[in-house]
Amino acid sequence: MAGNRGVVYEGPGRVVVEDFDYPVFELKEGPGVNPANVGRKVPHGSIVKTVATNICGSDQHMVRGRTTAPHGLVLGHEITGEVVENGPDVEFIKVGDLVSVPFNISCGRCRNCKERKTGICENVNPDQPGSAYGYVDMGGWVGGQARYVLVPYADWNLLKFPDRDRAMEKILDLAMLSDIFPTGYHGCVTAGVTTGSTVYIAGAGPVGLAAAASALLLGAAAVIVGDLNADRLAQARSFGCETVDVSQGDPRDQIERILGNSEVDCGVDAVGFEARGHGTEAATEHPATVLNTLMGVTRAGGALGIPGLYVTGDPGAADEAAREGTLSIRLGLGWAKSLAFFTGQCPVMRYNRQLMMAILHDRVQIAKAVNATPIPLEEAPRGYREFDQGAARKYVLDPNGMLGTS
């Protein structure tokens, strides 16, 4: 039997690449595995040989020590691969299929799944609705920054690519379907982006850049991306966005210089709970800054899409309230402007098939937009380190040498 090897969290600031067990069709005891899930049979699952698996900003929150993630947790929830083995209950997915794995783990049977709310499936995490691979408090499903990964409810969860050769030609683009492309798109859809919209996207990391590409795909007239990082802002400009350097002060003034109006139709938060301040406060964390800024710059009657991650527990927060996810949000401002707020995990399956078709038919170049950069699995610690330092790249790991990195 093949062995397995992947990326393991070993404490704040430290990830290692090491060997561990090949997946089987049963959840075993291990770091982060919910005790109620230990021994759970997975006859409906597939074992996927990983072609591409991405480093995500959500992974970085754990690696920075900003969650309660246990040491020894196998990381990774952005997975694209080839099916190599099926459980006895898998009927439609076949060995050899090239597939995208939504980062949400969902059963397809509960009320929320039937309502296409796959980010809050009721049956895969004993503690709370919603689950993901290799993530803290998400049920303990083993992560996919590895050579092989178990995918439960495979017939439901896996998105099969229609043509293997064509898919491999666009594999870096298709690798974004597991999370950041649908997540950025969801942020825009829930914010109401449509033909002719003006949009302000806070954050020029991979999710923010994916949101910017999504806004253009949806027909926005002007897409403005705000960040502190000059390289990431340059990446946003490379595919037609306007940019705001929030280290220079309140985005409102810069938006007015771009649009002739200080308010936009739609706002997207692609930053989340590790937000920094603006202007002179840019060097320190102010976790409510992005939400408050978005309320200020979005027109009355508009909406905020909030795909950026917010948590109920942050051991590294600057104050006691933020450690519990309590932020000083100007809700009165949002109420006075009749703003709508849309939060939570993106339900990837709501969008991934349509976005796959957009990629395959050359309607979008998402890998170019986020500067997808493949590296060997063994270089994952370097990828994490450089991404944490602000590299304007989306690192894609190549566990089985199928992307040509080794």
DSSP code string of 100-163: EE-SB---S-SHHHHTT-GGG-SSS-SSSS--BTT-TTTT-PPPSSBSEEEESSHHHH-EE-S-
Distance (Å, rounded) from C-alpha 244 to C-alpha 257? 10
Rounded to 5 degrees, φ, ψ at 64 are: -75, -5
Contact 77, 135 (CB under 8 A): yes
Q: What interhelical angle do 206-217 and 180-190 show, nearest 10?
A: 60
| Residue (of 351, 404, 363) closest to 172 by Cα position | 404
pLDDT category of residue 397 using cuts at 50, 70 and 90: very high
pLDDT, tens only, 296-305 = 999 999 999 9
Rounded to 5 degrees, φ, ψ at 179 are: -155, -75
Distance (Å, rounded) from C-alpha 167 to C-alpha 269? 31
Note the pLDDT of residue 278: 87
Rg of the chain's alpha carbons, rounded to an integer? 20
> Could you tell me what percentage of the chain is helix, strand and coil, using 3-state DSSP and rounding each to the nearest 5?
30, 20, 45
For residue 93, pLDDT over 80 is answered with yes
Q: What interhelical angle do 289-297 and 251-259 show, nearest 10?
A: 30
Note the pLDDT of residue 319: 81
337-350 CB burial, b ≥16 within 10 A, e <16: eebebbebbbbbbb
Measured in Å, how far apart are the chain's first and last C-alpha atoms?
Answer: 23
For residue 1, pLDDT over 60 is answered with no
Contact 228, 200 (CB under 8 A): no
Distance (Å, rounded) from C-alpha 354 to C-alpha 64? 34
Half-sphere exposure of 388 (CA within 13 A, CB side): 17
Measured over the CA atoms of residue 264, residue 269, residue 384 and residue 377, the dihedral's sign is negative
Least confident of 243-247, 291-295, 318-322, 348-352: 318-322
Distance (Å, rounded) from C-alpha 338 to C-alpha 18? 51
Query: How many other C-beta atoms lie within 10 A of the C-beta of residue 263?
Result: 18
pLDDT, tens only, 321-361 = 888 888 889 999 999 999 999 999 999 999 999 999 999 99
Note the pLDDT of residue 273: 87
For residue 264, pLDDT over 60 is answered with yes
pLDDT category of residue 385 using cuts at 50, 70 and 90: very high
Note the pLDDT of residue 399: 98
pLDDT category of residue 314 using cuts at 50, 70 and 90: confident
- 263: three-class secondary structure by DSSP: coil
Mind listing the domains of the chain with CATH numbers?
Answer: 4-179+347-398 (3.90.180.10), 180-343 (3.40.50.720)
pLDDT, tens only, 100-112 = 999 999 999 999 9
- 363: three-class secondary structure by DSSP: coil
Residue type, 181: F
